Amino acid sequence: PRRRVIPALAVAAVALAIRALLAEFLPLIDHDGVIYVTIARQVHASGSPFDPLYHPLYPLCIALAQPLVGEWETAGRWVSALFGALVIVPAFALARETVARQAALLTAVLLAVHPRLVLNSASVLCEATYTFFLVSGVYVARRGLVNGPGALVALGGLCLGLAYLARPEAAIYLVGLVAIVIFLIARGRARAAALLPWAGAAVLVFVVVAAPYVWYLTEVWGHPTLSGKIDHNLPLAVGAASEPDPLPMRILENALLFQKYALPDLLPWVLMLLVLPGVLARSKMRGWLTRDGLLLAAALPPFVSLAFHVDSRIFLPALPFVLPFAAVGVLWAAVTLTDARRGLPFSAVLALLIALALAPWTFQPVLRPDAGALVYREAARWIASTQPRDAVLLDRKPFVAFYSERRWIPLPRVGPDDLLAAARKAGARLVILDSRELPFDRRRLIPLLWGPTPPGLDVLRDFDPAPGDRLRILAVSERG
């Protein structure tokens, strides 16, 4: 059994090296990464990792890693890279018990080189941490239900509880675990006396792990809730809309946007061509749904987020449950193009070709670095050297404020005539106008990037990182 996991550990080591390499070439922290680092600093300052919107596990990991690393952003990237590589081990074990060892090893390779997984695991984002505990929980709970011992079911509840502390969707998987236990008992496949105590232990452990944060959210929002994002996101308008659409219409619109924008990120063309043949090949095997149904069901919970947004990174945790079918598709293609005897060696060649086809996307930050993103660090250095420490920045994104260690206020949806009033109301000393961010939902402010500014706002500095791009810093005149 120990030797069975050695190939997965070898692939995980390669995956860690790839993610560490990309982390060195990413010039900019993510928007949510700024929040995670802020919460991690809060852990050092007050001891509390709780926030009304962002779950506490990933910031807590950053806070624990920072003394070893010495820099907050780097600590966040290393935590993501470590968990992003380690997830290959439970994903390999889960695939090995469902679609067999050869397909499991190909699954590990696909997880190691998947472009969006690699990019996310090199960023200051929580998905890699969440996915590791989620896949671990699904694997150990399944093994406890199928092969025993039952204590693994309780361990699965612990892993899912830790996953909940990174992302709220983990609670859906606990409900699924309870449903599977009820189904097994109702169909006579397991004795209630043998299974119910361990299932109850799994629920109890999950509740104990999640209870402190749920209690905190209840106090903050005034009602029981598993995630503050629900209360925060539902009233928000999407894109350039002035008010939110009805929920059914929003889900329909986001489903269409998902298949247009997010799906190509999750399954690039070479993987898309393999997933369907893999599912069809598995469906020809007797009892396939009993074995593979768990993978198919485990890929669904992330799609509850369609009510809020369609960012592809939200759906990345579904990939460890989907890519085994792409791996089966590789084996099917190899056997179809050759024969059963030569299929396995040829599948290794196909896996190498797939990795080479994905390489330009996987290593894009290395091959084509985003030099224009460095403008945020340049502007931050200028502000840090010329502006007082208590200067407040009004900006669409918090990048300049983060690197200059100044306080940030989000730029509201206002026009040129209302910008000065909005800045004064926020108590801002500086207004940052960014040509990369304004076109999304602040289009009325675009003329201020190159044209004259309203009275009361003076141009302090212009940064032109690339043709057609500009970052302009405006100073708010004396209050009046």
Lowest mean pLDDT among 98-112, 233-247, 261-275: 233-247
What pLDDT, on the 0 to 100 scale, is given for residue 34? 97
Beta bridge partners of 457: 476
| Alpha helix segments (H runs only) across 338-471 | 340-362, 364-367, 374-386, 399-404, 416-426, 438-441
pLDDT band at 244; cut points 50, 70, 90 = low
Report how far residue 46's alpha carbon sits from residue 49's, in angstroms, rounded to the nearest whole number: 9
Q: Could you report the per-residue pLDDT of 31-47, keeping only the tens digit for each? A: 999 999 999 999 999 99
| Mean pLDDT of the residues in the chain | 92
Specify the pTM.
Answer: 0.94
**Helix ranges restricted to H, 115-169:** 115-121, 127-146, 151-164
- Mean predicted confidence (pLDDT) in 272-289: 90
CA distance 90 to 120: 19
Q: Which residue has the higher pLDDT, 394 or 288?
A: 394
Q: Tell me the three state secondary structure of residue 133.
A: helix
**Can you tell me the distance from the alpha carbon of 218 to that of 368, in angstroms, rounded to the nearest whole number?**
46
Residue 417 in this model has a pLDDT that exceeds 80: yes
Does residue 286 carry a pLDDT above 90? Answer: no
Distance between CA 57 and CA 198 in Å, rounded?
25
Return the percentage of the chain with pLDDT > 90, whole number.
77
Assess whether pLDDT exceeds 90 at residue 263.
Answer: yes
For residues 288 and 138, give the distance between their C-alpha atoms in angstroms, rounded to a whole number. 18
Amino acid at 137: G
Question: Do residues 474 and 456 touch, judged by C-beta distance below 8 A?
Answer: no
C-alpha–C-alpha distance, residues 453 and 446, integer Å:
11
SS3 459: strand
| Residue 2: pLDDT over 70 | no
User: By CB neighbour count within 10 A (0-12 exposed, 13-18 middle, 19+ buried), where does 371 fall?
Assistant: exposed
Q: What's the pLDDT score for residue 253?
A: 84
Residue 117 has pLDDT above 60, yes or no: yes
- Name the CA dihedral angle for 176, 179, 185, 189, rounded to a multiple of 10 degrees: -40
Which helix H or strand E contains 476, and what residues bound it? strand 471-476
Range from 81-85, 202-206, 274-278, 302-306 carrying the lowest mean pLDDT: 302-306
pLDDT at 241 over 60: no
Residues whose CB falls within 8 Å of the CB of residue 98, separated by 6 or more in sequence, listed in order: 291, 292, 294, 295, 324
pLDDT attached to residue 243: 65
Inform me whether the pLDDT recorded for 1 exceeds 60: no
Per-residue pLDDT tens over the stretch 309-349: 788 999 999 999 999 999 999 999 999 888 877 878 888 89
pLDDT at 135 over 90: yes
In this predicted model, what pLDDT tens digit does every residue of 211-239 receive, in sequence order?
999 999 999 999 999 999 888 777 766 55
